[in-house]
Structure 1
Amino acid sequence: MSTAVNSGLRRSARTCYKPDPEIERSGKPAFVLSLTEVKLLGIAGVGFFLDAYDLFIINPVLTMLQYRLYGGNALPVGLHGFVNASANIGSVIGQFTFGYLADALGRSAIYGKELMLIIFATIMCLTTPTGSLSPNSSLIYLGIFRIILGIGVGGDYPMSASVTSDRSNLYKRGTMLAYIFANQGWGSFIGSLNTVIVLACYKHVMNDEGETSKADGVWRIVVALSLIPAFATLYQRLTMPESTRYTEARRMAENQEADLEKEVRALKNVGHNTEGIAASSSLSGSDIEKEDRTQESTVPPSQNGPANPEAIATKKDKAQIGEFIAYFSEWRHAKHLIGTCVCWFLLDIAFYGINLNQNVVLTQIGFAGKTGSDWEKLFKVSTGNLIVTALGFVPGYYATVLTIEKLGRKWIQIQGFLLAALFLGILAGKFNTLSHAAFIVNFALLQFFFNFGANATTYCYPAEVFPTRFRAFAHGVSAASGKAGAIISALAFNALSQDIGTPAVLWIFFGCCIAGAFFTLLLPEVKGRDPDLVSRSDPHLIKCQYIQYVSKSVK
């Protein structure tokens, strides 16, 4: 590669990105937020509130549909797994799609579209015609629109992560991401609380009058309540301007592309023989610029490139994909992507295997009650969900918020995996002998170390370890790997529980957590690390870009 281009790219790296003064430490604790950060937390955090609300509300919804559609009998195993997994199936699509578009087209151009999709799908779920379709068809109808809901929910992962990381100071970036993700705990908690409250309002008609089918109204009200925060933040998302960090990253990429195109043009001018290449390599930066101006003045407009916007957009999209592949073709970058993907995959097998089937676990150890009216069983299950969420979910998230900048992401993730494995081992080994109180304590501690651990850090890592230009897509790929694990768990948990027993399934989750701690070793500590500065002068990436443009020119 010529010295002119190499030095030009490195010079561009130094001048096109300057650390923002806001990145400097303010002296305040990282968890103390400014007014601007609180506003950002409100806009991006509501998305994760809805993510958890919509994903985990399916637990009480399916329990209520047992009474509305099947007279209290268990749902068909296959359909139960399909509806459980449907939102996660959609999430995989949304994470890939929105992640790529956010990098290729910009955060501001895409942000808010995923929330519109969530609103549409939620409304369609509410229209499930349980009175006119067969029970099985009703579940299929609900599952289809939950797939669409999942596309919006999945899109929120890379969007909110990249929007937050782009706008955060380095010394509190992890705290901001943890704050955003902590809204998942509140979403799950509020969903459980709403279920308990609405069920209490229906006690007379369902319990005293015996109209159990009224559970159909309960789940629709609970699901519809999620539309309130969705509509409240839609406008702010649609009108959010582009971040300075992303704009500078794109300008940096364009400058590098311009330098490479100048070099290719210089190579063409002096011929493709060895002497010509050597001669072009000795050109100074001013010589190349002079040659470039001369060429531009003599080339007809039709040869300067595509004139229509669609062709230009296509060119940029292809360049984005090529640069993404070039960046991750080297092991030192690829191992980070492998680490984030595999850790999230293993975490979600255990996390969603437990939480999407929490009612099944509570019922099997007798918390739902073997006696009592249908309403009492529903109320006990909902109360159990609320207790576990309050004890484990919310405290775990905020333990991460308060300590992430002190302990670091890597330490929190490894200890979270190992302690989650410990409590899964206790539950698996003593599943049939634990008292109700002992089960709740162990289950709450399991949830606590999921969230003061890998469930939070697997979300933070991709938003911090990858440079801005590839951050959203890499985050989407990582999150999609996690959702693949969640889909496997949702589809297999019930069948495996019946075939080999719930304790054996919990041992599988135990193994996933141990493996997750091991794969975390592939990841660096990202506390205070700016991936943009790390990658600016990456000689491997510059070389790949050079080869890519030279090859394109030769063709």
Structure 2
Amino acid sequence: MGFKWNPFSKSKEPKEPLPLEQYEAAEQKKIFGLVNKQEAKLLAIAGTGFLLDSYDLFIINLVTPILSYLYWGGLEGHEDYPSGIRGLVNAGTNIGNIMGQLIFGFLGDFFGRQFVYGKEMMLVIISTILLISLPDRLPTPLDKSMWLFTFRVLLGIGIGGDYPMSASITSEQSMIHRRGALLSWIFSNQGWGTLVGCIATLVILACYRTSLEVHGDYHKLDGVWRIQFGIALLPAFLVLIPRLRMKESKQFKDSKNVHALNEAETNSQTDDLKKNQETFTSADLPQPVDTAKATEKTSGSVQVEPRDNSFMASKEPPSDKAEQQDQEQVKSGSTFVAYFSEWRHLRLLLGSAISWFLLDIAFYGVNLNQSVILNEMGFNSGKNQYRKLQRNAIGNLIIAIAGYVPGYWATVFLIEKMGRKWIQIQGFAICSLLFAVLAGKWHTISTAGRFVCIALAQFFFNFGPNTTTFVYPAEVFPSRVRAFSHGICAASGKAGAILSGLLFNKLTEVIGFDKVLWIFFACMILGIIFSLLLPETAGRDADLVDRLEIVAMQQGKDSIIDRSEKWAWWKHGI
């Protein structure tokens, strides 16, 4: 008899493996809801890109006043930093994000996760080095701004590529009952990036205090902003090698081969699946069986085999012809087009992408311009430039601690209990209420009242759609189209961020800040409507749904969903 390994046996004698239900129960009891060693490695490797994304977002928010002082006459008392140029520099990373999300998302499905992962971090490192190497000999402020813009775009391509890659890898290497929490945990690194950005700025300013405040040598600020950007190199270098050594997920390989199976094999394997596992019907669509395997340690990499998808691969290897046809289909992109040619799939893409777009108009409108908002509140006052920069950093830090970071962690701990859809819709709803209050009472509400509303909005952005719009594309689409689909959704979000970044300052000048807040209110209301297109994905295995849809089509059935069941519109989307 062959060797049987039981990961929970204290005896040296081999025993039969535990059933799935016992394995998951033991795993949950063992870690008390916290991550185990392999999950911690995955979180560290995949989460770094989101820390860098948020760090860059908030650093440019804190660097903008410095650039104004140094290059646009702020130190001479005739500051003239054009709103268009300022918006372009601020939006540079988001412009690059769109390209990176689409390019790396497509390449991730085309070549596989293993081949692509890590290349985006190499781009982040190269672009950051070039960014902080801004030559002093460039003659005009416009030339300097264009240098910063160019390499912030390149930086954005690298950071953008991390969205579809890290989301897909995490989704495919997580157990279903913990997948949402792990995806949220990875995305919550944006909160730490914000916090690190604020603290780093305060520490750097403290180091330069003598030169800046005592001696009044504000040209030393040139070193401050370079250090602020350069700090991002440390985590980027730390995770580069582990990313390059990450192995391909079994789930992705199985999903790519799903169309190489013939109809007879498909029907036979699906019958076996229904006999040996829970029946997957519309009544229990959000709760498919999780067939988790034990983790496998590899040197310098994380290989977590979350589900036994052997039913998705042929019992006999597909013929060379079938395999070649499948590879040609995947590589030509016809798989993606064919999948989204059906409304039931296209509505998921529209719901995910448009919700993210609407969210980021408001989210980045606030966060890219938080220093401007703090100035509108009168929080950035100070007797000199040093004190103004310090107050600006402190204001951002307070908002991060009070609302931004706690919002992420509320999602991490509650997403598996409350579900993705409820968290997303309640976040949109509460933010719309807060923006309505701010817009209607902006000129009469106290500074403290404004501050509280902004902090609460940050909390419900993150305990709401800012996190769930990232989680949804990683869970609702099957592995064979997941990376590119996630890239499209993320790029839609960044399009909203760019729109907000380029127009916020101009609209504030033309119609006033309170009217801009009404625009944010409208975006939140529309976000609620488009969120109704989406199903609840807690416990949902998109690859299993994909497989059963193929079987249903072969059997002449239109859908595997029973629309007559109670709450079908909520569980499966309208």
Q: TM-score, normalised by structure 2?
A: 0.80
Distance 1:130 1:432, change over 3 A: farther
Distance 1:469 1:221, change over 3 A: same
Distance 1:534 1:30, change over 3 A: farther
Partner of 2:285: none
- C-alpha displacement at 1:27, in angstroms? 3.8
1:473-484 alignment to 2 at 5 Å?
473-484=484-495
Q: Is the 8 A contact 2:55 2:196 kept in 1?
A: yes
1:254-288 Cα deviation digits (max 9, x unpaired): 4459999xxxxxxxxxxxxxxxxxxxxxxxxxxxx
Distance 1:339 1:214, change over 3 A: same
Of 142, 147, 161, the match for 1:155: 161
Q: Specify the SS of the correspondent of 1:367.
A: coil
Letter in 1 for 2:497: A
Of 420, 429, 434, the match for 1:418: 429
Partner of 1:398: 409
**Structure 2 unaligned spans of 5+:** 1-18, 267-317, 555-574
Partner of 1:141: 147
Letter in 2 for 1:360: V
1:459-480 Cα deviation digits (max 9, x unpaired): 0000001111111111000000
Q: Specify the SS of the correspondent of 1:538.
A: helix
1:342-363 Cα deviation digits (max 9, x unpaired): 0000000000011001111111
Of 156, 176, 179, the match for 1:173: 179
Q: Is the 8 A contact 2:260 2:326 kept in 1?
A: no
Q: Is the 8 A contact 2:428 2:528 kept in 1?
A: yes
Letter in 2 for 1:363: N
Q: Is the 8 A contact 2:259 2:326 kept in 1?
A: no
Q: Is the 8 A contact 1:88 1:487 kept in 2?
A: yes
Number of residues paired by the alignment? 480
Of 241, 248, 253, the match for 2:247: 241
- C-alpha displacement at 1:23, in angstroms? 8.4
**Structure 1 unaligned spans of 5+:** 1-18, 261-291, 297-303, 544-555
Letter in 2 for 1:43: I
Q: Is the 8 A contact 1:424 1:506 kept in 2?
A: yes
- C-alpha displacement at 1:330, in angstroms? 1.1
* Matching of residue 493 in structure 1 with residue 495 in structure 2: no
Of 65, 83, 103, the match for 1:63: 65
Of 347, 350, 364, the match for 2:359: 347
- C-alpha displacement at 1:498, in angstroms? 0.1
Of 118, 132, 154, the match for 1:112: 118
Structure 1: how far apart are the matches of 2:193 and 2:149? Answer: 21
Structure 2: how far apart are the matches of 1:541 and 1:94? Answer: 36
Structure 2: how far apart are the matches of 1:30 and 1:169? Answer: 15
Distance 1:83 1:313, change over 3 A: farther
Partner of 1:185: 191
Q: If each structure's helix is expressed as a fraction of its own residues, which one has the higher value?
A: 1
1:369-448 alignment to 2 at 5 Å?
369=381, 371-448=382-459
Partner of 1:227: 233
Distance 1:465 1:437, change over 3 A: same
Structure 1: how far apart are the matches of 2:339 and 2:401? Answer: 42
Q: Is the 8 A contact 1:365 1:432 kept in 2?
A: no
Partner of 1:80: 86
Partner of 2:531: 520
Distance 1:187 1:513, change over 3 A: same
Partner of 1:14: none
Structure 1: how far apart are the matches of 2:261 and 2:530? Answer: 37
Structure 2: how far apart are the matches of 1:177 and 1:464? Answer: 9
Partner of 1:210: 216
Distance 1:473 1:65, change over 3 A: same
Structure 1: how far apart are the matches of 2:154 and 2:23? Answer: 38
Partner of 1:464: 475
- C-alpha displacement at 1:245, in angstroms? 1.1
Of 304, 307, 328, the match for 1:315: 328
Q: Is the 8 A contact 1:198 1:218 kept in 2?
A: yes
Partner of 1:505: 516
Q: TM-score, normalised by structure 1?
A: 0.82
Q: Is the 8 A contact 2:83 2:506 kept in 1?
A: yes
Letter in 2 for 1:208: V
1:40-88 Cα deviation digits (max 9, x unpaired): 0010011111111122211111111111112322411111111111111
Q: Specify the SS of the correspondent of 1:524.
A: coil
Structure 1: how far apart are the matches of 2:149 and 2:123? Answer: 15
Alignment RMSD (CA, Å): 2.5
